[in-house]
Structure 1
Amino acid sequence: MIAPRLIARAILRVVPAEHAAWAEAMACEIVAARDDRRFAMGCLCAAMGLRLRTTGGRAMEQVSERPRMTAVSCGVVAALLGLVYLGRTGAPATMLAANAGAIALGLAGVAVPRRVLLSDATALFTAFLLLATALLGAAADGAARWLHLGVAVQPSLVLLPAAILAHLTRRSALTAGAMVVAALALAWQPDRAMAGALLAALLAGGRRSGPVPILAAAAAFAITLLRVDDLPGVEWVDGVLFSAVARGVLPGLAVIGGTAVLLAPALFALRDARADTRAFGATWGAVVAAAALGNYPTPLVGYGGSAILGYLLAAACLPARPAARAIDPVPAMRDAARDDRLFRLA
């Protein structure tokens, strides 16, 4: 008799207030069942599961309340785990230095005012730089995606994610035109990975993207699928998601963990109605998918400062906090009444 009653009291205190009615019913059943400890323990496990799910959901809500800080933090952690992978697998010191420098430069970019990153000028500059790269950039095996600025830089990875967010935020004719030019440039280069990322982001943006940019991105992606893209893989850059596991436990965990961390904002974006946060998640989800399916740079955890810069600059484009929402006092009063009833029953 004593143990089931103690379990019933524990359930009343563990279960979240929104499930108070269920807790009260279970407590009555446990007391009525007397010595059925198996049933009581099953109810207690279910109550603890409800508490963990509710607590986890609230923690996710608190994190998603700060999308910019969350994305920047995830980017830095993922890039640092990438340094662990490079260091443990014997990558040249220059690669570690380049990625570390990209982290520092990206954090400096986070300090740039958000209105500058989200301006029409940023989107237009990105579009015409991508077009110039397709025409004049460094080419390899028929693909022209890079500019040599002391080190090879891929402008599409650095600037396109931020330009997409600028378009979704401003939704002007200039930014829409910039998306069309960017799509043309990606088809010309060709860059299948970033063309797919552009299409995924605009689709995630929904109506704010506009039909013309979406159609241009879809056409560009289709063209890249038809064009030959057989660049050979580069060690520590391509195929990292699979080769890291074969290199050892720590490198494998660093790459898998880093990839999970960089995609975490995409999971938070699933709970957010904002077009920019959904597009941010779709962009980097598409880049990771491309890296898993072909010889494309593995973002943040592999060698390459372009993705690190691009991720942090795009993160800086996200709002510091979501728009203020009106507070409905009725649910709060209802929760208070449930808490009071639980206290009296316990």
Structure 2
Amino acid sequence: MSFANLIVAVAAMLLPTHLRDWGTAMRAEVGEIEGGGTRYALSCLGFAARAAIDFHLLRPLRLPLDAREDPTPNEEPTGMRLTRDLFQRPWRMTAACAIAATGLGLAYLSAAGAPVRYLAINLGALLIGFVAVAIVLAGQRGGRINAGAVGVTLGAALLLTSLLGQPVDGATRWIAVGPLFIQPSLILLPIMTIAFARARDVLSTAGILAAAAALALQPDRAMAGALAAGLVALTLIRPERNVLVALAGAGIGFAVTLLRADTLPAVPYVDQILYTSFAVSPLAGLAVFAGVALMLVPAIVGRLYDVDHQEAYAVFGAVWLAVIAAAALGNYPTPVVGYGGSAIIGYVVSLLGLPKPASASAKERAAMPTPDTPERPDTRCAGISYSV
């Protein structure tokens, strides 16, 4: 298969179901272009990525006014409906918080005089995260993803990082991708832990234990603490055997990182910016704190509005709160608002571990509580079904 055909195959996989005929046309067209058709293939990939992001992430944020039945003159304002729609669908709110927090981080980096390429890298990481989400969603539609197998694979990837990664001052947490250094633990560990909260089988447990061992070897005290924090939150809700085994492994891994020296110096625009941002300007400091606060909003909203999946939201909140706390306590990356694409990709990808609401019908939306219909404690999530 040529390079152009490979690109078109990826583009076709990204396309939403209602656009799959375009994928067939792309494959046929690229085969007829002399010289490989690489430029055409890249344009197809761009179109497919935009279509996937619009369909899976942006379309749900646009209120389906034309789908509502019997609109009345007293229908609630658009802004209020949008807010209610987001609060009742925390999966979508996570995407919105990722975009907003990254934007606030870009504002800080610009005010602090960071190189323009830092801003470009952060923005590119946000787009890469959403494209990765679209690819996984396409795979889920085809029924090709097994949670346990994915957990073991990601745990093995973290182990390989600790053994074959790029060492810096005695720590091996990074892999080199051209001129960039990527921290796989920031990308993979959050989604691993959140997914484990929903699929606590033997293979997923093995993946968590492999991740704990990898973090101890690297050593990565911040992410080892995040893993332990997430599993503590899960244990409080689901004290099952596999959860307890995973917590024990994470606890041992975190203890090992506490015993090993961590002498990495602070990096400008990456570490300690929760403190240094106010030296830039009060607005820059507020942007940083608002950004990290937004990261925790989905966990709070999810626990309020989706009582059937509280463990996933609790783990999501515990993991990212621990990452933020580590950035405040030591020389560890400040997630999303600081320079570094790994945390941005990891935050966006971690929303895949949260339960995604199924599309509600017009009648179901009409049954949702509104400001004109007082909520009852047992019906505040009426009309929303979740797929696991």
TM-score norm. by structure 2 comes to 0.66
- The reply to whether residue 188 of structure 1 matches residue 224 of structure 2 is no
Q: What per-residue deviation string (whole Å, max 9, x for no partner) do you get for residues 74-130 of structure 1?
A: 011101110111111110111111101001111112213454677223211211111
Measure how far apart 1:63 and its partner are.
4.0
- The reply to whether residue 279 of structure 1 matches residue 331 of structure 2 is no
Amino acid at match of 2:107: V
SS in structure 2 opposite 1:252?
helix
Amino acid at match of 1:135: L
**Match in the other structure for 1:178:** 207
Give the whole-Å Cα distance in 2 for the aligned partners of 1:215 and 1:242.
34
User: Superposition pairs for residues 158-173 of structure 1, below 5 Å?
Assistant: 158-173=187-202
**Match in the other structure for 1:291:** 327
Measure how far apart 1:243 and its partner are.
0.4
Bigger relative CO (Cα 8 Å, ≥ 6 apart): 1
Measure how far apart 1:227 and its partner are.
1.0
Q: Percent identity?
A: 44
- Equivalent residue pairs, number: 274
**Match in the other structure for 2:351:** 315
Structure with larger Rg: 1
Amino acid at match of 1:66: R
SS in structure 1 opposite 2:163?
helix
SS in structure 1 opposite 2:262?
coil
User: Superposition pairs for residues 1-346 of structure 1, below 5 Å?
Assistant: 63-114=86-137, 115=140, 119-150=147-178, 151-206=180-235, 207=238, 210-271=243-304, 272-273=306-307, 274=309, 275-321=311-357
Give the whole-Å Cα distance in 2 for the aligned partners of 1:335 and 1:121.
45
Q: What per-residue deviation string (whole Å, max 9, x for no partner) do you get for residues 251-300 of structure 1?
A: 11211111111121232244354211111111101000000000000000
- Comparing 63-72 and 95-104, the one that deviates more: 63-72
Amino acid at match of 2:130: L
Give the whole-Å Cα distance in 2 for the aligned partners of 1:296 and 1:244.
15
Q: Aligned in 2, Cα 1:59/1:290: closer, same or farther, shift over 3 Å?
A: farther
More helix by share: 1
- Comparing 106-115 and 236-245, the one that deviates more: 106-115
SS in structure 2 opposite 1:210?
helix
Measure how far apart 1:249 and its partner are.
2.2
Q: Aligned in 2, Cα 1:335/1:190: closer, same or farther, shift over 3 Å?
A: closer
SS in structure 2 opposite 1:152?
strand
TM-score norm. by structure 1 comes to 0.73
Give the whole-Å Cα distance in 1 for the aligned partners of 2:130 and 2:275.
29
